[in-house]
Amino acid sequence: MANNNDTSQDKSNPDSSGLDKSGLEKAEQEVSGEKNQASDKDETTKSPLTIAISKNTKILALFAIACTLAVSVVSELTKDRIKAQHQQQLLKTLHSIIEPSRYDNDIANDCIMMSAPELGSNKVKTAYIARKAGEIVAVAITSTAPQGYNGNIDFIMAINTDGSVSGVRVLKHQETPGLGDKIEIRKSDWITKFTGKRILSEDDRRWAVSKDNGMFDQFTGATITPRAVVQGVKSTLNYFNQHRGSIIPRPNACGKALSTAEVTTTSTTPISEVANER
C-alpha cells in the first residue's frame, strides 16, 4: 500500500509542476503586456509634445526667413533714397566751400582718388573737381588732422587753382563739447578764417595758432584742437601745391570708389573728457 501511495504521489507531481509552469508563463505574459501597454501609453503621452516642439521650430525658422527677406526688401527699396540723401549732403558741403556760381559741372560726380601721409592717414581720400566751361577752378580734398585732443579730425578743404584756400569744413570729430567743438561751423565761425589764406613757403610759420606765434586764434581753454586743424590744413595745402601737376590729370573715379560717408558731419565725445585742453 505504501508503494502505491508513493507512486500516486509521484505521478501527481509532474502535473502540479506543469500547472505551475503554465501559470508562470501566463503571469509573465500578463506582466509583459502591461509593460507594453505602459510603454505605448508613455509614447502616446510624449508624442504631442514632440510634435508641438517640431511645429514651433518650423514656425521660428519660417519667421527668421521672412524677417531676413523683409530686411533685404526694405534695404533694396531705400538704397536709392539713402544714396540721394548722401549726395545732397555732399553738395551742401561742397557749396559751402566753393561758391556754386563758380562752376558748371556735376562736381559731386567729378572726382579723383588719392592717398598720402600728408593727408593725415593712409586711407584713400577723395578730391572733387570744380570746373567752369571745362577749366578747373578749384579742388575740394577730404583730409584728416591726426592730432586732435580726442583723435582724428576729418575735414574737407577747397583749394583754388592759384593756391589760395576757398573754404574748409570739419566733417567728423570727437573733440570736447563746449571747447574743441568750436571747429564746427554751427558752433563758431573760426573755421572760416582759413578762407583766402595762402602758404608762402613749405615752412610758413604764420600757419600756427596765436599761442605758437601764428595767425590763427586758439579757443579759450582749448589749444590742442585748433592747433591740430591748422597743421592738418597746412599739410593738405602743401601737398596739393607740390603735387597738383600729377593729381589733376587723374581719371574720374567717382563711379568706382566714391565714399559719400566721408561727408557726414558727426561729433561724439566721451563724457569723462569735460575738463581738458590746456
Residue 163 forms part of a structural domain = yes
Q: What is the DSSP string of 45-95?
A: HHHHHHHHHHHHHHHHHHHHHHHHHHHHHHHHHHHHHHHHHHHHHHHHHHH
- Cell matching residue 77: 527699396
Please name which of 151, 111, 137, 88 lies closest in space to residue 247, comparing C-alpha atoms.
Answer: 111
Name the pairing type of β-strands 165-173 and 266-267. parallel
Maximum mean pLDDT: which of 74-78, 79-83, 174-178, 235-239:
235-239
**Tally of structural domains, the chain:** 2
CA contacts within 13 A on the Cβ side of 20 = 6
pLDDT above 50 (res 162): yes
pLDDT at 105: 93
Average pLDDT over residues 252-263: 53
Phi and psi for 219 in degrees, rounded to 5?
-95, 150
Examine the fold and report which residue of 97, 117, 148 is the final residue of a domain before the chain moves on: 97
218 and 140 housed in the same domain: yes
Residue 263 forms part of a structural domain = yes
208 and 166 housed in the same domain: yes
What is the distance between the alpha carbons of residues 267 and 262, in angstroms, rounded to a whole number?
13
29 and 163 housed in the same domain: no
Residue 2 forms part of a structural domain = no
Please state whether 178 falls in left (phi above 0), alpha (psi between -120 and 50) or beta: left
Q: Are 157 and 134 in contact (CB under 8 A)?
A: no
pLDDT at 27: 57
Phi and psi for 216 in degrees, rounded to 5?
-110, 135
Average pLDDT over residues 119-130: 93
Residue 205 forms part of a structural domain = yes
144 and 32 housed in the same domain: no
How big is the chain, counted in residues?
A: 278
88 and 126 housed in the same domain: no
**Which of these ranges, 98-102, 146-150, 265-269, 271-275, has the smallest mean pLDDT?**
271-275
Q: Are 251 and 112 in contact (CB under 8 A)?
A: yes
- Cell matching residue 231: 597743421
- C-beta atoms surrounding 248 within 10 Å: 14
pLDDT at 5: 46
What is the residue type of 245?
G
Q: Please report which confidence band the pLDDT of residue 18 belongs to, taking 50, 70 and 90 as the band edges.
A: very low
What is the distance between the alpha carbons of residues 124 and 61, in angstroms, rounded to a whole number?
42
Average pLDDT over residues 125-139: 94
Domain range enclosing 247: 103-273
- Alpha-carbon distances of 119 from 56, 94, 127, 226, 238, rounded to whole Å: 56, 18, 11, 17, 10
| Residue 138 or 51, more confident | 138
Q: What percent of the chain has pLDDT over 90?
A: 49
Q: Which helix (H) or strand (E) holds 9?
A: helix 2-97
129 and 265 housed in the same domain: yes
pLDDT at 258: 39
112 and 170 housed in the same domain: yes
What 8-state DSSP symbol labels residue 14? H
208 and 225 housed in the same domain: yes
What 8-state DSSP symbol labels residue 99? -
Q: Which residue has the cell 526688401?
A: 73
Average pLDDT over residues 63-82: 76
pLDDT above 70 (res 54): yes
Residue 40 forms part of a structural domain = yes
Task: Find residue 136's DSSP bridge partners.
Answer: 131
Sheet of 135-148: strands edge to edge? 111-116, 121-132, 135-148, 151-160, 165-173, 266-267
pLDDT at 60: 83
49 and 137 housed in the same domain: no
